[in-house]
Amino acid sequence: MIRLNHSIPLSLLALAVMSDCAIADPKYDFMLHGYIRSGILANADGNRADSVGLMPDGKWRLGNEEDTKIELIPTVTLTSDSGVVAKVQANITHSVEMHLRLELSG
């Protein structure tokens, strides 16, 4: 009985090696997309401004924000000879509010 217990894992390993899934050479494809922006908005007095005033509600136009934001989107695609096996994508975002007051002496 002891010899049989040792031969079962060995035969399972041999079957796994001979199967198509174990022989297939997995390939990984990595892509990284994203953007980084940072801005400081201040008026003529050196105080913080909410927006430049290009539009009535122009506060959230890209390039018209007083915060710093990093957004990265990494994507990993696993393929085999038979096609795509898995695709994993994440959205990693970090944002920091900027509160700045400049003291100008004249």
DSSP secondary structure string for all residues of 36-74: EEE---B-TTS-B-S---SSTTGGGSTT--SEEEEEEEE
Domain count, the chain: 1
pTM attached to this predicted model: 0.50
| pLDDT at residue 49 greater than cutoff 60 | yes
Better-scored residue on pLDDT, 3 or 88: 88
Domain-embedded: residue 8? no
Q: Say if 10 falls within a structural domain.
A: no
Range of the domain at 47: 25-106
The mean pLDDT of 10-34, rounded to a whole number, is: 67
The answer to whether position 69 is within a domain reads yes
- Whether pLDDT at 21 is above 80: no
For residue 1, is it within any domain? no
Measured CA to CA, the distance from residue 79 to residue 20 in angstroms comes to 14
At 50, list the tokens.
Answer: 């909410």
CA angle 84, 89, 91 (to 5 degrees): 170
Residue 97 lies in a domain: yes
